[in-house]
Chain A
């Protein structure tokens, strides 16, 4: 007898709740400086964004180079709502996220039907077109000078906990989306759309739903970002760098896995903080280099590396690892590509 769905593992649930509780009591216990707390909040934010990107890019295998579009739309819509209607910020975030999700559906519904790399290519166009058009649309974004939100006392203290909660919800959704039968359907679609449709999965509906949810979550993180920094401008929100940061976090951590993008986001934010301080001109190239190394040697990123080490030391049963790798590898079942040779 259990109120939990059968796919929820009790140890994982316990670990998750403990981690959230630790996150909630850390700032008062450790007396973090403002700098540290900012960094940790930012990490929560990007963990949420990378996980949400991974729903589409990892679970469905449709790599998006244009998620900055939803990040920016969510940010600016919620900022406008905060300025015009003085809504509570969480309500503005949800509204911004919904608009971002609908915007994702608007361009994504037709382009998700494209096979292979064409979706990715279309997303580059979507991201850049959105940046240019919304920078021009001053009524929404304030043009290149951006928007300022009123600064409230102690807002950042409050937002730390909201960030933790947001990350918790997105992480729980990532777990549910992978472990439930819905996740099984996504795996089937990623491996073979036609075969999935043959066995009674509705690929169009499921792809659209995942895209909408991914856009919604990334839109909310964009709205959070706007509230947190009290100032946003289109070049930063919609930039191509923003889009690729989501890709990099997920790929470095382990695309398609549940925890990979979160690990990748932590590394990304820390590395970025360090590099921006010391070598501001080097960090994009370093990410490029990391991307090359990961794809060539460990397509499952840090998670793959972990399994490699675990295998050497005999911590993980090989068959468990094999199933995980085949499911998560970018572009579908791994074995197919290696043995398939030239088509």
Chain B
């Protein structure tokens, strides 16, 4: 029972991080209909940026959050304005944007190899190993902080999308860009902003992930696939749906440790992705994709 409770708490704390990284992917897909394969690249970039700031300048990873968020926002804007914008939209562009963004990811990954080598890195702070006890369960301070920041981010995002003019414009463009143009919304600006926002979430998730796990230039590929699973499961646009799906994935993963050898738990996410796409495509990004 004790072990069960500990695993459950671990899953909930993990789910916060998962929801943050998945929401960025879902947002970009929902508004632009572009699958941002570079999501994993930005997650990795966020992790390394946090590491550099901590290692070279001694900035605490939690203090560097605004810097990392702004930097990954800018990455997103550059990628959109410089590359994605020039591709055809709709069916013809879908495969092209997939390949293009995959290319960007390869370049980012290679840049990270050149700059930081392929070695595993960690962000170690004095409080990395601290934990508090509550109701007989010991909780890592770091994990609690990551969970808190993730929840705060999602709440702010939800308020932004539902309460502000720009947020409403983003949601409107997701529904019908042509009508938005008619009523005076600058659709191109909204696309740019959305791509930046999605990237910023990826960078934040990367930084938060880096405080918990070790990472290397290939960090982000597993996270990208997990984000897919969550977006597929939770549908698009709803913060609650994303959070619920993130919790499902985290619980399945964490409890898989009880049944499977440790090595295979990494495969659970991938298998789940395929199964979800096959059996629950209706929930995919909140729309039907199966003929």
- 8 nearest A-B residue pairs (beta carbon): A337-B92, A285-B110, A288-B106, A337-B88, A291-B103, A129-B270, A125-B273, A132-B267
Besides the known contacts A132-B264, A133-B264, A342-B187, 16 further A-B residue pairs in the complex with CB atoms under 8 A apart: A63-B99, A113-B291, A120-B98, A121-B228, A122-B278, A125-B277, A128-B221, A128-B267, A129-B267, A244-B106, A285-B106, A288-B106, A295-B96, A331-B94, A338-B88, A341-B89
A114 lies within 8 A of B187 (CB): no
**In the complex, A194→B290 CA distance in Å?**
12
Q: Knowing A125-B225, A125-B270, A136-B263 touch, does A295 contact B99 (C-beta < 8 A)?
A: yes
- Complex interface: chain A residues within 8 A of B33 (CB): 343
Report A-chain residues with C-beta under 8 Å of the C-beta of B99.
Answer: 63, 247, 251, 291, 295, 330
Q: How far is the CA of A63 from the CA of B98 in the complex (A)?
A: 9
Q: Which residue of A lies closest to B92 (CB)?
A: A337
Tell me whether B92 and A282 are in contact (CB under 8 A). no
With A120-B95, A132-B263 already in contact, the answer to whether A284 and B109 are too (CB < 8 A) is yes
User: Does any Cβ of A come within 8 Å of B50's Cβ?
Assistant: no
Is A162 in the interface zone, CB < 8 Å from B?
A: no
Q: Are B270 and A116 in contact (CB under 8 A)?
A: no
Give the residues in chain B near A35, CB-CB below 8 Å.
none
- Minimum distance in angstroms from A81 CB to a CB of chain B: 25
Contacts of A288 in B (CB 8 A): 102-107, 109-110
Chain A nearest Cβ from B188, distance in angstroms:
10
Contact A295 B103 (CB under 8 A): yes
List residues of chain B with CB under 8 Å of any chain A CB.
Answer: 33, 35, 83, 86-96, 98-100, 102-107, 109-111, 113-114, 177-178, 187, 221-222, 224-225, 228, 261, 263-264, 266-267, 269-271, 273-274, 277-278, 281, 284, 289-291
Can you list 18 A-B pairs with a CB-CB distance of less than 8 A?
A114-B281, A115-B289, A116-B91, A122-B274, A125-B225, A136-B264, A285-B109, A285-B111, A285-B113, A288-B106, A292-B83, A295-B87, A296-B86, A299-B96, A331-B91, A331-B92, A337-B90, A343-B177
Main secondary structure of the interface of A (DSSP, over half): helix
Complexed CA–CA distance, A132 and B222 (Å): 12
Chain A residues, Cβ within 8 Å of B114: 281-282, 285
- A251→B222 CA distance, assembly (Å): 24
A341 to B261, CA, bound (A): 50
Known contacts being A122-B273, A122-B274, A282-B114, is A329 close to B92, with CB within 8 Å?
Answer: yes
Residues of A contacting B95 with CB < 8 Å? 61, 63, 117, 120, 330-331
* Best-buried of B90, B228, B290 by chain A (most CB within 10 Å): B90
CA distance A288 to B273 in the complex (A): 25
Cα A289 to Cα B110 in complex, Å, equals 10
CB distance from B15 to the nearest CB of A (A): 20
Contact present for A128 and B225 (CB under 8 Å): yes
- Number of A-B residue pairs, CB cutoff 8 Å, is 177
Distance of A110 Cα from B277 Cα, bound (Å): 9
A336 within 8 A of B: yes
* Chain B residues, CB < 8 A from A120: 35, 95, 98
Residues of B contacting A126 in the complex (Cβ-Cβ under 8 angstroms) = 270, 274
Distance of A194 Cα from B291 Cα, bound (Å): 8
B91 CB to closest chain A CB (Å) equals 6
The answer to whether B106 and A291 have CB atoms under 8 Å apart is yes
Question: Shortest CB–CB separation between residue A281 and chain B, in angstroms?
Answer: 6
For residue A145, give the distance in angstroms from its CB to the closest CB of chain B. Answer: 14
A340 adjacent to chain B (CB < 8 Å):
yes
A113 to B98, CA, bound (A): 19
Closest to B261 in A: A136
Which one of A116, A132, A285, A332 contacts B107 once the chains associate, using CB atoms below 8 Å? A285
Q: CA separation between A121 and B102, bound complex, in Å? A: 12
- Whole-angstrom CA separation of A259 from B229 in the bound complex: 36
Q: Are B291 and A291 neighbours in the complex by a CB distance under 8 Å? A: no
The reply on A118 being an interface residue by CB < 8 A is yes
